[in-house]
Homo-oligomer: A and B are copies of this chain.
Amino acid sequence: MQRVRQLLVSLAAAVAVGSAAVGFVLRWVLHYKEGLGWDGGPAEFNWHPVLVVIGLVFLQGVAITVYRIPWTWTCSKLRMKFIHAGLNVLAFALTVTSLVAVFDFHNAQRIPNMYSLHSWVGLAAVLLYALQLVLGLVVYLVPITPGNLRAAFMPVHIYSGIFIFATVIATTLMGITEKLIFGLRDPPYRDSPPEAVLVNVLGLLVIVFAGLVVWIVTRPSWKRPGENVPQTLSSGDNSNTATNMSLRDRGGKTEPK
């Protein structure tokens, strides 16, 4: 019970901090910037931070932790896989839209594309995210994929999911840095106007949100029941594969992947 209470507190904190980040990015573009539009101008650019924070940051964070939500533990594993995949597909769709917005804006304003470290890392992260989605769907949702392949791939799936998420966070922080330097002129960023403080705090919220997501998803005892073997046999495991392998070694049963 203590275990579930700590998990719930962590989940609630993650949702609160992630929602605050979404609120901060909306406040930024709607109050301090030009609002939202689709006209090749700054209002179209503004979809980029908004959709990235909602999709790649918040929704991807929720997708990563969704198996840890205790209310879902009575749902079938297959349904949870569809929810995990569905949230990631939605996040990916928002991301693609956010990229269209920024390329449109750059082209309309004759600003070169793909010159900054932000753009290099961001595009690499989105391509890896697409690959992760396709491989995840093929390996875990195509019924004929053999169980041993699913098990063997799980450590890579988990690691690359967290790696891509961390890379997205770093890219967001670079994007914030760029936009505050380019977008704040009078007063400039170095004079710390209210907009700069608000967006710096947005950056901190994004980091804290990511820290909570990774903490939640790497606590062995907070796993969905049925993925865990008893603590005395195998405690402290980040890899479903390994747990299931150790169960199999002992002739135990686990939920099908």
Contacts and interface: CB of A to CB of B under 8 A. Distances in A.
Contacts of A215: 159
A232 B204 CA distance: 42
Given A233-B233, A236-B243, A190 B115 contact: yes
Contact of A173 (B117, B191, B200, B249): B117
Contact of A169 (B120, B170, B176): B170
Given A120-B203, A166-B166, A112 B191 contact: yes
Nearest to A114: B192
A234 B238 CA distance: 11
Contacts of A245: 231, 235-236
Nearest to A113: B190
A236 B235 contact: no
Contact of A238 (B112, B178, B236): B236
Count copies of this chain in the complex: 2
Contact of A239 (B116, B174, B220): B220
A207 B237 contact: no
Contact of A200 (B112, B120, B182, B207): B120
A185 interface: no
Most-contacted residue by chain B among A116, A118, A241 (CB, 10 A): A116
A189 interface: yes
Contacts of A13: none
A246 interface: yes
A203 B121 contact: yes
Contacts of A250: 232
Contacts of A169: 170
Contacts of A192: 112, 115
A196 interface: yes
Given A115-B190, A120-B203, A173-B121, A242 B232 contact: no
A24 B173 CA distance: 22
A19 interface: no
